[in-house]
């Protein structure tokens, strides 16, 4: 058994990296260190949660924030009919996921101006 590093974190709990593997403190699986985000402030140099647990935690927090409205993060659906993306925003009035979708929606609703902007001609 090769022990690469054995260090204690701030709570005094030993974190051990053995053969490039580290135990996730959430799911308790022994995973390869490539499944952990780097963290220079920790004793081992990696975060204590694996990437999948961290992703799950972020999604739960985002879902909780969007339903409660306390933090100010809202889960919205893009208003452009050709785009089916769900996106997060800090303002509840934002309706498009990107400026590209907003422009596409505007051009579809204003066909008469399409020729003016494309060919630089005047509208009578």
φ, ψ at 20 (rounded to 5°): 60, 30
Selection from 1-5, 68-72, 77-81, 114-118 with the highest mean pLDDT: 77-81
**Least trusted range by pLDDT, from 2-11, 26-35, 78-87:** 2-11
Report the mean per-residue pLDDT for the chain.
77
Query: Looking at 20-117, which runs of residues are DSSP E strands?
Result: 21-23, 30-32, 36-38, 46-50, 74-77, 86-89
Per-residue pLDDT, 2: 47
pTM as predicted: 0.46
Per-residue pLDDT, 121: 60
CA distance linking residue 63 with residue 77, whole number of Å: 14
In the predicted model, is pLDDT for residue 1 greater than 50?
Answer: no
Per-residue pLDDT, 40: 86
120 or 56, greater pLDDT: 56
Q: Are 53 and 27 in contact (CB under 8 A)?
A: yes
Indicate the fold that domain 3-54 takes in CATH. Answer: Wheat Germ Agglutinin (Isolectin 2); domain 1 (3.30.60)
Q: Where are the domains of the chain?
A: 3-54, 73-119
* Positive or negative: CA dihedral 30, 34, 37, 42: positive
Question: How many CB atoms are closer than 10 A to CB 24?
Answer: 19
Convert 4-16 into a string of H (helix), E (strand) and C (coil): EEEEECCCCCEEE
| Span 60-109, pLDDT tens digits | 887 776 666 555 666 778 888 888 888 777 776 778 888 898 888 888 88
């Amino acid at each position: 058994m090769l022990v690469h590093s054995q260090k204690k974190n701030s709570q005094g709990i030993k974190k051990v990296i053995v053969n490039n593997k580290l135990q996730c403190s959430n799911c308790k699986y022994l995973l390869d260190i490539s499944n952990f985000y780097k963290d220079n402030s920790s004793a081992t140099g990696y975060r204590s949660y694996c990437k999948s647990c961290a992703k799950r935690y972020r999604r739960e927090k985002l879902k909780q924030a969007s339903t409660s409205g306390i933090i100010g993060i809202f889960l919205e659906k893009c208003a452009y009919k050709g785009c089916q993306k769900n996106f997060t925003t800090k303002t509840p009035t934002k309706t498009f996921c990107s400026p590209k979708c907003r422009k596409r929606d505007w051009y579809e609703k204003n066909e008469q101006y399409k020729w003016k902007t494309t060919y630089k001609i005047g509208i009578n």
